[in-house]
Amino acid sequence: MRIVRFLVRRLLQLVPVLLGVVVLTFLLVRVLPGDPIRTILGPNATPEDAAAARARYGLDQPIVHQFLDYLGGLVTGDLGTSIQSGTSVGAEIGLRVGPTFELVVLALAVALVVAVLLGVWSARHADRAGDHGVRLLALVGNSMPEFWLGLVLILVGYSVLGWFPAPSGRVDPDANLTPLTGADLLDAALTLNGPAFGSALAHLILPVATLSIVVVAPLLRSVRASALEVLHSEPYVAATAHGLSGRTLLRGYLLRATLARLPSLAALVFGTSIGSTVLVEYVFSWQGFGQWALRGLLYRDYPVVQASVLVIAFCYVVVFLVADVVQAVLDPRVQI
C-alpha cells in the first residue's frame, strides 16, 4: 500500500514537470536561428509560397495563439504535423520509438550484466593485476566516442571478418517481417518468424555492442565502488568472522547491498542513452528515434523537436520512478 501511494504521488508530480518541459521547449525552439518554412521550401520559394506554408502550419498566428493550439492538441493526444514530411508526429513517433527502445534496453541489459560481474569480481580482487586491468578497460571504454567505436566495429566485424551484415538497416528486406511494435526482434519473436528473428539479431549485435561498451564504464565504476564499500563494512566483516560460506556472503550480503545502489545510476544512463543514440543510429543506418529527432532539429521542424523533447523527458521521469521503486525493494532502509 505504501508503494501504491508513492506511485500515485509521483505520477501526480509528472504533470507540472512535463508542463514545464512543454513551455520551455515551445519557447526555446522558436528562438533558434533559421526559418523552418524557408528550410523546407528552399531558397527559390516565392514569398507567396512561404506565406501559404506558414498559414497551413499556423505559424502566421501570434505565439500565444500557437502555444494554446499546441497545448490543446496535447490534451487530445495530437502532437501536431511535421513541417518536413507533412505527416502526423504521433504516427512517426510510433514508428521510431520501438527500434530505439529495443537498442537501448538491450544495450543497457548487457552493460548491467557485464558491470555487475566485472565490478564485483574487481572489488573482491582489489589492487591486483586483474583489478587494474578491469579499471583500465573501463577508462578506455569511457574515452571512446560512439561514432568512432561503431565505425571500428563495422570495419572489423563486417568488412574484415564478414561475421555481421552490412550496416544498412535493422532487418533484411526479404525477411517478410510483420511490424507490430516497431522493435524488429520483438516483432519477429511475437510472429514466430525465425528468419526475421535471426536477421534482426544479427543486425542488432554491432550497435548493441557499441552502445554497451560506452555505457558500461560508469556502471562498472559504480558497482566496484559500492562493492568495495560493502566489503569493508562492519556487517560484512562480522558475517565473515562468523564463518558464513562464500556463497552466502556473496548473495546475501555483497550482491544485494551492491545492487541496491545501482538502479538510480542505471536510470540516469538509460535516459542519457535515449538521447545519445543518434550517433549510433547514423553510423548503423538504424532509422530510429534519435536520428528522427536530429533531422527535425536540423530542419527546424518545430512539432518534431517539441515532441522528441517531451518523449525524452517522459522517459526520464518514468525510468527514475521505476528505479526508486526497485531501490526501495532491494534496500528496506529507503523510505518512499
Of 254, 314, 292, the C-alpha closest to 121 is 254
Stretches where the chain sits below pLDDT 50 are none
The answer to the question of residue 86 being in a domain is no
Count of structural domains within the chain: 1
The answer to the question of residue 279 being in a domain is yes
Could you report the per-residue pLDDT of 149-163, keeping only the tens digit for each?
Answer: 888 888 888 888 888
pLDDT of 92 reads 85
Three-state SS annotation for 209-239: HHHHHHHHHHHHHHHHHHHHHHHCCHHHHHH
Could you report the per-residue pLDDT of 119-128, keeping only the tens digit for each?
Answer: 888 887 877 8
The answer to the question of residue 180 being in a domain is yes
pLDDT of 333 reads 64
Angle, CA of 213, 291 and 161, to the nearest 5°? 45
Which CA distances in Å does 19 have to 12, 23, 78? Answer: 12, 6, 15
The answer to the question of residue 47 being in a domain is no
The answer to the question of residue 178 being in a domain is yes
Task: Classify the C-alpha dihedral 266-271-272-275 as positive or negative.
Answer: positive
Three-state SS annotation for the chain: CHHHHHHHHHHHHHHHHHHHHHHHHHHHHCCCCCCHHHHHHCCCCCHHHHHHHHHHCCCCCCHHHHHHHHHHHHHCCCCCECCCCCCEHHHHHHHHHHHHHHHHHHHHHHHHHHHHHHHHHHHHCCCCHHHHHHHHHHHHHHHCCHHHHHHHHHHHHHHHCCCCCCCCCCCCHHHCCCCCCCCHHHHHHHCCCHHHHHHHHHHHHHHHHHHHHHHHHHHHHHHHHHHHHHHCCHHHHHHHHCCCCHHHHHHHHHHHHHHCCHHHHHHHHHHHHHHHHHHHHHHCCCCCHHHHHHHHHHCCCHHHHHHHHHHHHHHHHHHHHHHHHHHHHHCCCCCC
For residue 112, the enclosing domain spans 93-290
CATH number, position 210: 1.10.3720.10
The answer to the question of residue 51 being in a domain is no
The answer to the question of residue 146 being in a domain is yes
The answer to the question of residue 26 being in a domain is no
Query: Is pTM, for the whole model, over 0.85?
Result: no
Quote the cell numbers at residue 177: 517481417
